[in-house]
């Protein structure tokens, strides 16, 4: 009998556990190890600082859900993964041995790579519920004495959609509070153009997002590198095509949220053959590590090369539908190996996204992720805002019930009316 361990219980890890459970043989054991006993639905985080959502609205208590599905649960952080010895060392000094390990530990947020960046420095974050709550307190204070706002994504970030979402959500909230006229807003991004999204654009995201920015009086700086952040002041360099500095800016602000660079978590960084130099897990087309053949990985912690060279480094985002496709392929592949077969399933890695703008939004589908594409579609409108709320409720309800199918797939296909997107081949 085999022991399968899922490390990390975020969006990827929770869905992974449910889908893996369906593929096990009678007698096989499944354990989930994670840092936090409660899961928070990260895509709703941009609504926390404006208090459109509270922590409890997006929280899932994992212990009872996993117990109901017969999944062992260990809410203790991993200290080090030892793939040579097939075990995970935990921070409480204990160890968990495995036959198969699925790493779903998401990103470590590398605020320390830029002086003054992050919630322990001078900018806010929406990447974690604790950060988003801190940002809510900061935003309340800010509204008493409005000043300029800077929102964006720094060099090396591999997540851009939430920065756009948060910009327009803040814009909507400021208009509702009738103080938008007192707040100059600037979007600062490593992307070479607005709407690049780390994907070289999808459909007309360039046109759609630039137009939204203009309509909402939001200025922008692209190909930008944040040098450091002091209290109330951000130092930014605009970089030209040849890598030279085209312009420098000292931007004042009263509130700022910048998405940080991501790297792999400490428990895997530096493990030879398991990770790339940034600590992201190396996988083949079957989500399996090329050196350690009983180690698989899904989600943001997976190594994906950038789309192409850009003047300022931009990573490729890993969005929910894409993560789900990695999960399904992994569950099916391990199921095949357990039954004496070989992995044959590949994730489609399609990028599908609903970006909420507070009272409207932009949706896109990129299939495949790298251009030229078979589906290269984007659209905007009030329907996206409604679809995102419906999708959030649907997803959280499914996660609370411990239901494995369908997650993003059904929600997306229903909302977008696109019936042919497959998760695996």
Residues that bind ligand FAD (CB under 6 A): 7-13, 33-36, 42-43, 45-46, 77-78, 104-106, 126-127, 159, 162, 265, 267, 299-300, 319-320, 323, 353
Tokens 């889908």, residue located: 19
User: What's the Rg (C-alpha) of the chain?
Assistant: 21
Cα-based angle 358, 108, 356 (whole degrees, multiple of 5): 10
Q: How far is the CB of 8 from ligand FAD (least distance, A)?
A: 3
Q: Which CB sits closer to ligand FAD, 311 or 376?
A: 376
| Residue 329: both structure tokens together | 């392929």
- Minimal CA–CA distance to 171: which of 382, 43, 359, 354? 359
Q: How far is the CB of 286 from ligand FAD (least distance, A)?
A: 18
Q: Which CB sits closer to ligand FAD, 42 or 170?
A: 42
Q: How far is the CB of 242 from ligand FAD (least distance, A)?
A: 32
Burial class (CB in 10 A: 0-12, 13-18, 19+), 233: middle
Q: Which CB sits closer to ligand FAD, 149 or 300?
A: 300
Q: Which CB sits closer to ligand FAD, 142 or 262?
A: 262
The C-alpha atoms of residue 291 and residue 282 are separated, in whole angstroms, by: 9
In DSSP notation, 384-415 reads HHHHHHHHHHHHHHHHHHT--S-SHHHHHHHH
Q: Which CB sits closer to ligand FAD, 124 or 333?
A: 124
User: Catalytic site residues?
Assistant: 159, 353
Phi/psi at 333 (nearest 5 deg)? -65, -45
Residue 47 Cα distances to 25, 57, 128, 139, 214, angstroms = 41, 11, 12, 12, 23
Tell me which residue has its CB nearest to ligand FAD.
10
Q: Residue 176: CB partners within 8 Å, gap ≥ 6? A: none
Q: How far is the CB of 153 from ligand FAD (least distance, A)?
A: 10
Q: DSSP class of residue 37?
A: S
Q: How far is the CB of 10 from ligand FAD (least distance, A)?
A: 2
């Amino acid at each position: 009998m085999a022991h399968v361990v899922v490390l990390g219980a975020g969006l990827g890890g929770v869905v992974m556990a449910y889908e893996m459970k369906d593929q096990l043989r009678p007698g096989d054991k499944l354990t989930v190890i994670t840092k936090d006993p409660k899961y928070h639905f990260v895509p709703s985080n941009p609504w926390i600082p404006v208090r459109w959502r509270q922590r409890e609205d997006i929280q899932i208590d994992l212990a009872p859900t996993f117990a109901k599905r017969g999944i062992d649960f260990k809410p203790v952080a991993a200290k080090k993964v030892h793939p040579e010895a097939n075990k995970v060392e935990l921070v409480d000094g204990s160890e968990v041995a495995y036959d198969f390990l699925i790493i779903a530990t998401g990103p470590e947020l590398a605020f320390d790579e830029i002086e003054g960046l992050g919630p322990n420095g001078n900018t806010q974050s929406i990447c974690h519920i604790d950060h988003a709550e801190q940002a809510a307190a900061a935003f309340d204070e800010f509204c008493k004495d409005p000043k300029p706002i800077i929102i964006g994504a720094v060099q090396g970030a591999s997540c851009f959609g939430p920065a756009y979402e948060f910009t327009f959500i803040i814009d909507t909230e400021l208009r509702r509070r009738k103080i938008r006229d007192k707040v100059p807003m600037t979007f600062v991004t490593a992307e070479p153009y607005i709407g690049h999204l780390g994907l070289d654009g999808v459909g007309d995201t360039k046109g759609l997002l630039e137009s939204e920015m203009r309509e909402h009086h939001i200025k922008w700086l692209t190909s930008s590198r944040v040098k450091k952040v002091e209290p109330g002041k951000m130092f930014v360099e605009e970089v030209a095509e040849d890598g030279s500095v085209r312009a420098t800016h000292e931007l004042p602000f009263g509130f700022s949220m910048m998405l940080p660079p991501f790297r792999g978590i400490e428990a895997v960084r530096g493990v030879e053959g398991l990770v790339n130099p940034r600590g992201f897990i190396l996988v083949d087309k079957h989500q399996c590590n090329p050196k350690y053949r009983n180690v698989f990985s899904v989600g943001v912690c997976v190594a994906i090369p950038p789309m192409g060279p850009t003047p300022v480094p931009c990573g490729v985002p890993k969005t929910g539908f894409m993560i789900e496709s990695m999960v399904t392929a992994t569950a099916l592949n391990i199921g095949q190996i357990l039954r004496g077969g070989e992995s044959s399933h590949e994730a489609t890695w399609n990028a599908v996204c609903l970006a909420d703008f507070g009272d409207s939004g932009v949706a896109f589908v990129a299939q495949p992720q790298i251009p030229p594409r078979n589906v290269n579609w984007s659209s905007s409108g009030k329907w996206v805002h409604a679809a995102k709320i419906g999708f959030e409720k649907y997803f959280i309800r499914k996660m609370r019930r411990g239901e494995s199918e369908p997650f993003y797939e059904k929600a997306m296909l229903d909302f977008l009316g696109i019936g042919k997107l497959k998760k695996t081949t």
